[in-house]
Amino acid sequence: MATPPTNSTTATLLVSCDDRPGLVAALSQLLFALGLNILDADQHTDSIAGKFFQRIRFDLSVRDNQALIDEKTLEGAIREVAERHSMEWTLRLDRDVPRMAIFVSKTDHCLYDLLLRHRSGELHCDIPLIISNHPDLEPIAEQFGVDYRVFPITKDTKADQETEEIELLEKYRIDLVVMARYMQILSERMIAAFPRRIINIHHSFLPAFQGGKPYHQAYGRGVKRIGATAHYATLDLDEGPIIEQDVVRVSHRDTPKSLVRKGRDVERTVLSRAVAWHLEGRVLVYDNKTVVFD
């Protein structure tokens, strides 16, 4: 999907709540009453959990005069309907460009992929900051004109370094953190600072082969497919809500080294899709699962 221009007049509304009759009508009638045109709408009902989810894309231009609706008026109207139906909701205006920070260690393939996709306009965000626990990838940041900060992590320095990292993320007004093969476990404080706004790529098809060397585990089991999983980071390591997964076929001829090489291609595409879907407002989280709208 092409990046919306910064002067875009479109917005995305995400809602979730307990399922009941009349929810679709309530939201469509709300936007109609405000004079706004719905461009696209998709919904899902989890009949087992009894939950309703909807994503609505609409134009902010009012039908009668083509002027843009006042944002406070729009939010107030949505809030009134949401409170009546006990909805959780988020409103994303395409003209408000999210700011994304990338966390890396020494592995560069996911970092390169995100930066190249951003440069080509595939990712609707700004990337002003890269944070690492090693200096190795700083030349890549310089190549793309992104600030690169190093915070060496040891058991004794981890708490203080994360405090400085959080302060830096706040200074840069970061909306989304992406762990692009960042080989550190985040603390409770870091995760709490960005709830459902930290995306991690795990080089395995979770829940199989958790931990630090999944390709070696896969080799030891003689699997015929390896994969990658992009998920939101939580306190439970490698168990956060899954956004996207994919696999590639391997064989008995593969070695751990060739599995790593093949896995990198899957990691890149899985992570970039998950990041794009988050930025486009396509993901809703519930019960440690996600709804990802097409």
By three-state DSSP, how is residue 33 classified? helix
By three-state DSSP, how is residue 216 classified? helix
Q: Write down the catalytic residue from 236, 238, 265, 287.
A: 238
CA–CA distance, 249 with 174 (Å, rounded to integer): 37
Residues 6 or more apart from 120 whose CB is under 8 A from it?
none
Sign of the torsion formed by the C-alpha atoms of 55, 247, 216 and 179 = negative
Residues 6 or more apart from 145 whose CB is under 8 A from it?
none
70 counts as catalytic = no
- Contact between residue 126 and residue 98 where contact means Cβ atoms under 8 Å apart: yes
Q: Which residue, among 58, 61, 22, has the nearest Cα to 40 in the 3D structure?
A: 58
Written as six digits, the tokens of 123 are 């990712």
Written as six digits, the tokens of 226 are 């390896």
User: Which one-letter amino acid corresponds to residue 239?
Assistant: E
Phi, psi dihedrals of residue 144, rounded to the nearest 5°: -100, 5
DSSP character string of 45-103: EETTTTEEEEEEEEE-B-TTT-PBPPHHHHHHHHHHHHHHTT-EEEEEETTS--EEEEE
Q: Which residues are catalytic?
A: 238
